[in-house]
């Protein structure tokens, strides 16, 4: 039923979040997505020219996917996320804690 899909969707989102927060979308708000879409629509190298279609695609993308777009299209460079965010995750923090122990052994 519909509730089981929602439950599965929640579990999928939690799994993404536990792997890395950038696999969800927290850093790019709707206003930014609109601006990104307008810039992409004007870029001759981008696949689409209809702003609303681009927004429709962007709302389903994670922060990391949008960040990757900013690296691929120079018109979006002001939207690139800082490098520090790439290493902000529970798994990386745990790895940082374990690494000194592993080096000693």
Residue ranges per structural domain of the chain = 2-98
pLDDT, tens only, 21-53: 777 788 899 999 999 999 999 999 999 899 999
Residue 48 to residue 73: CA distance in whole angstroms? 13
**Residues 76, 82, 83, 85, CA torsion sign:** negative
Residue 85 · residue 27 · CB < 8 Å: yes
- CB count, 10 Å around CB of 77? 9
Per-residue pLDDT of 53-100, as tens digits, reads 999 999 999 999 999 999 999 999 999 998 877 766 666 665 667 778
Q: What is the pTM of this model?
A: 0.69
């Amino acid at each position: 039923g519909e509730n089981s899909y929602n439950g599965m969707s929640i579990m999928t989102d939690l799994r993404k979040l536990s792997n890395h927060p950038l696999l969800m979308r927290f850093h790019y708000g709707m206003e930014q997505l609109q601006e990104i879409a307008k810039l992409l629509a004007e870029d001759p190298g981008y696949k689409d020219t209809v702003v609303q279609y681009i927004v429709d695609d962007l709302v389903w993308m994670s922060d990391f996917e949008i960040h990757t777009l900013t690296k691929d299209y120079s018109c979006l460079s002001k939207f690139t996320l800082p490098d520090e965010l790439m290493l902000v995750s529970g798994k990386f923090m745990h790895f940082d804690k374990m690494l000194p122990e592993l080096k000693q052994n």
